[in-house]
Chains A and B, each alone.
Chain A
C-alpha cells in the first residue's frame, strides 16, 4: 500500500517527539498514543467539551480539532508540564485544596486553559473566571469549587497565599 505518512516533529513539554503519521491523525491522538502522554483527555472529539485542551506555542487549543501534521514544528505544553517533580503547580495545589475536581477527567484541559488566563489576568473576578471556564464542560462539580480553586490559585500566584 502506498505510504501516506508524513514526518512530524513536535516539541512537547520541551522534549522533541517525532513520528511518521497519517495526515488524518489528530493532534490529541499523537500526544496520547504516539508520544504516550495520556494526561490530555478526549471527551467529545468535536471541540465542545475542552478536555483535550493543550497549549500550542503558548495559546490554548483543542487538540482534537487539529491534525498532528498541523503542529509540525510547534511547541506543545500539556498537563504533565505543570508540576515540578512532586511539587504541584499553584493551580494544581489550589484545585486539590478547594475540591475543584471529582473524577478528574476534564481537569487537565481546564488547567491548560487557566495557566495563560491567570498569566494575563492575575486578579480575575468570579465573572471573569466563569467566562474563562465557559469553554469547558465538567459534569461532576457544578463548577463552583473550580471557581474557588481559580480564585485561590490567582492569590497563590500573586504571592498572597502560601
Chain B
C-alpha cells in the first residue's frame, strides 16, 4: 500500500510539473513580446528594453523559467504585469470562492447522481431511466449559462430566496455564505448530476450483469447485501467520473462566476486572459492543477482501498 501511495504521489507531482512547464512555455511562446501591449506602440525601444529588464524578459527563456519556477514552488507567483500586485495574494483571496462553489457542486453531483443513477440502473428502461436519458440530452444541449439565468429569474428575482449576485464569506455569516453559493452551485451541478447519474447507471448496470452477482444471488444473499457488492464494484468508475466532474466544474465555474458576479478564480482567469496578463494566468493554472492533483490523489487512495486489484498493479 505504501509503495502504491508513493507511486501515485510521484505521478501526480510529475503531472503537475509537466503541465506547469507546458503552460509556461506555451504562454511565453504564444504571447511573444508583451511590451508593445503593455507600453503602447509608440513606446521607444529604450523604454521597451527597460520594461523587459524590469519584468526580466530580457533573459533567456530557460533562466526566466527557472526564476519563476523556483519562486512558484514556494507559492510566490510574482506580480501582475498590469497592476504589479502580488499574484499569490490575489489568487488566495479568490480561491475560497471558487472552491466553495465547485466543491458544493461536486458534492451535489455525487450525492444526487448516485441516488438517481443507482435508482435508474436497477430498472433499465423504466420511467426514471428514460427521464434520465432525456434530461441528459437536454442539459447537454442547453448552454451552461442558461441554467444560471433561469435559476436567477426564478429563485432570486421572483421568489427572492437567494441573492442574485455576489459572494458572502463564511467568516462574515455562515448563513449568508450558504445563501450566496446555493444558486451558483446548483447551476454548476445540474448538468454534472445528470452526467454522473448516467455514468453510474451504466456502471451499476454493467456490474449488476456480471457473473459474480448471479453467483452471489445463487448463494442466497439478500438484494440489499448484493447491492453493497455491486456498489463497491461500481465505485471505482463512479469515483473516476467524480474526479473528472471536478475538473470539468473547475472549468465550467468561469461562466457561472461571471453570471453570478462571484469574485472567484474563474472571473480572474477571464479578465487576465482578456488583458493578456500571463503571470496571473500561470499562477491560476498552477493552483488549478494543484487542486486537480490533490483530488486525483485522494481518489487514488480511495480506489486502492476499495479495489484491491488496483493496489497490486
Does B associate with A? no
A residues adjacent to B (C-beta < 8 A) = none
